[in-house]
Amino acid sequence: MRILSGIQPSGPLHIGNYLGAIRQYVALQDANDAYYFVADYHALTSVRDASLLRKYVSHVLIDLLALGLDPDEVVLFVQSDVPETVELSWLLTTVTPMGWLEKCVSYKDKVQQGLPAEAGLFAYPVLQAADILLYDADLVPVGQDQKQHLEITRDVAERFNHVYGRREGVFRLPKPYILDNVAVVPGLDGRKMSKSYNNTIEIFEDPASIRKKVKKFVTDSLPVEAPKDPDTCPLFGLYKLFAKPADREEIERRYREGGVGYGEVKTRLGEALIETFAEARERRAEWVAHPERVAAVRAAGAEKARETARKVLHRARAACGLG
Ligand code: TYM
């Protein structure tokens, strides 16, 4: 099965990215034909400093490798190393009704948060459709916030197939792969963890900073002895995703019976996070020390990705009468 997914290099990766997406990238890499990329064209809608963008791109590549992507198993590449993406995006734009983009919540959200209402931001989902369709992806591992973009991708693919009258279809229709328990990972304020809400815990923050940050997790003010509901407590919601099963069960029981304080859960969460990423932290240091290896992975990924992309783009161009 062809797996594909992308991450924007718009800042350091956080544990929502890890649980919602990257962990699935790793789990799917061995048994499938997987393509993962750093979505730098997309990041242009929010990062407007060239050297910062370059830095973020290389950090995301390094972080993905450190977190367990095996460059011998997957095609790991940078979106803009495959300029075919932008051409396909244009072909798709010409068949995409404005109304489909107008109803996109991510566009409305971003404008509400203060990003300028630019055409690139508006057409963001079409570029994402191009990313996915260009590689004949079957399955796209993502968090819940990308579900609508996947729906638009399928709609655009079907519309293109319909407009250009190909019964056999130019594009393969992809499906999202969203795991229920990590579809929306909560941030420090209980809302979805997101760079734009400033409520993230970064994967590779140093341990002292992780310990400090988890203390900021917003909770209610119930005292230690009061029974609490683990099902509605965002702090427990995050803790349970990292805790060992026995620890999780113990804390869950003490939530229900009373006798657990939020301070204790925060401390445990911090330690669980530090432990979870300890090995990746070491691997990361290795990659950081060898930028030439990262560059080689990037170049090899670009070559393989382009090979696939060229074939699909050729199909799409031929279908609509170009060339
Ligand atoms: P991005 O860069 O915002 O996020 C990368 C991945 O992390 C997931 N994610 C979360 N999952 C659960 N809980 C959270 N709090 C959380 N925060 C982030 C996202 O759902 C995503 O899977 N538009 C995409 C990038 C993209 C893409 C693509 C993805 C571009 N082209 C093609 C898939 C296929 C984005 O901005 O993700």
- The one-letter amino acid code at 8 reads Q
Q: Is 17's C-beta closer than 6 angstroms to any atom of ligand 1?
A: yes
Structure-block tokens of residue 190:
């209980």
pTM of the model: 0.96
CB 104 within 8 A of CB 112: no
CB atoms within 10 A of CB 316: 21
Asked if 187 and 193 touch (Cβ cutoff 8 Å), the reply is yes
Question: How many angstroms separate the alpha carbon of residue 17 from the centre of ligand 1?
Answer: 7
Is 16 annotated to bind a ligand? Reply is yes
Ligand-binding site membership of 131 (annotated):
yes
Q: What is the pLDDT of residue 169?
A: 87
Atom of ligand 1 nearest to the CA of 137: 34
Question: Which domains does the chain possess?
Answer: 2-184+291-319 (3.40.50.620), 205-276 (1.10.240.10)
Could you say which residues of the chain have pLDDT below 50?
Answer: none
Indicate which residue of 103, 192, 213, 311 is catalytic.
192
Q: Does 192 show up as a binding residue in the annotation?
A: yes
HEC sequence for the chain:
CEEEEEECCCCCCEHHHHHHHHHHHHHHHCCCEEEEEECHHHHCCCCCCHHHHHHHHHHHHHHHHHCCCCCCCEEEEEHHHCCHHHHHHHHHHCCCCHHHHHCCHHHHHHHHCCCCCCHHHHCHHHHHHHHHHCCCCCEEECCHHHHHHHHHHHHHHHHHHHHCCCCCCCCCCCEEECCHHHCCCECCCCCECCHHHCCCCECCCCHHHHHHHHCCCCCCCCCCCCCCCCCCCHHHHHHHHHCCHHHHHHHHHHHHHCCCCHHHHHHHHHHHHHHHCHHHHHHHHHHHHCHHHHHHHHHHHHHHHHHHHHHHHHHHHHHHCCC
Q: Among this protein's residues, is 110 annotated catalytic? A: yes
Q: How many residues does the chain have?
A: 323
Q: What is the pLDDT of residues 70-92, one digit of tens each?
A: 999 999 999 999 999 999 999 99
Q: Which pairing describes strands 74-78 and 2-7: parallel, antiparallel, or unpaired?
A: unpaired
Ligand 1: residue whose CA is nearest its atom 14: 16
pLDDT for 20 equals: 98
- Determine the residue of 4, 17, 135 to mutate for testing ligand 1's pocket, defined as the one with the most ligand atoms within 8 A of the Cβ atom: 17
